[in-house]
Amino acid sequence: QGFHPMRSTRVLTRLLLIRHGQVIPPAVDCLYGGMDVPLSELGKQQAIAAAAEANALRISHVYSSPLSRAVFGAEKVVEAQSSRPGLSIERDLREVDRGAWGGRPRTEIELEAPGGLARLKADPEFRPPGGESMRELRNRVIATYERIVRATPPGETVAVVSHMHVTRAIVAHVLGEPERDGEIEIPLASSSLVEIDAATGVATMAYIGREPVLESARDSVGNAWGG
């Protein structure tokens, strides 16, 4: 006897945020940002591993930055899903534009503009010559994120394959701390899951920066590469 309330079940809409894998070694020490730098062979394996782990979620659509290092990963997510979800390229999911500093070594930039890299990191309004500020990046990324959320039916899961600063901006927005995005660790090929209560619209992070396990490391003892 007694009152037995109905069990409430929340309907969660999910966005799986995936960062691209490692890029070719010559660009690693450069400030490349929005340049279209290709993945290394390891980076491709990382992207495949991330897509395989994303297969645990039933993804209804995939969104990608237009840069090839993200598109490769997005295509692997589509291929890993038995439903073969659609893929949309979103220009505003591209990485931050470093302007005239793009593709140049950090040491060279520091010699030309002493203190510039420190300002780039500390000041969200600072813009490299011909580039964009972190504030501008955040504005375009969050506008795209909100549009994707509105377009996603309640209870469905979509994947967003992009870049470190793009993912940081979304995670910081969900956490309610947009100015602290630079403190959020988003490893290469990692996944971060946003969960949105369909009834209230409240978004939370289920996890942040979860790294995939490469096939080559699954049978070995110790940490995966980069661990």
CA atoms within 13 A on the CB side of 159: 37
pLDDT of residue 106 exceeding 70, the answer is yes
Contact 57, 64 (CB under 8 A): no
Q: pLDDT over 90 for what percent of the chain? A: 80
- Mean pLDDT, rounded, of the chain: 90
Chain centroid offset of residue 159 CA: 9
Q: Residue 223 has what pLDDT?
A: 31
User: Do the Cβ atoms of 178 and 124 come closer than 8 Å?
Assistant: no
pLDDT tens digits, 163-216: 999 999 999 999 999 888 888 999 999 999 999 999 999 999 999 999 999 875
The reported pTM is: 0.89
**What is residue 90's predicted lDDT score, i.e. its pLDDT?**
99
Q: Quick: pLDDT tens for 4-37.
A: 554 557 899 999 999 999 999 765 578 889 999 9
What's the confidence (pLDDT) of residue 224? 28
69 is in an annotated binding site: yes
DSSP category for residue 152: S
Q: Which fold has domain 12-96+132-215?
A: Rossmann fold (3.40.50)
Estimate the crossing angle of helix 68-80 against helix 41-54, to 10 degrees.
Answer: 40
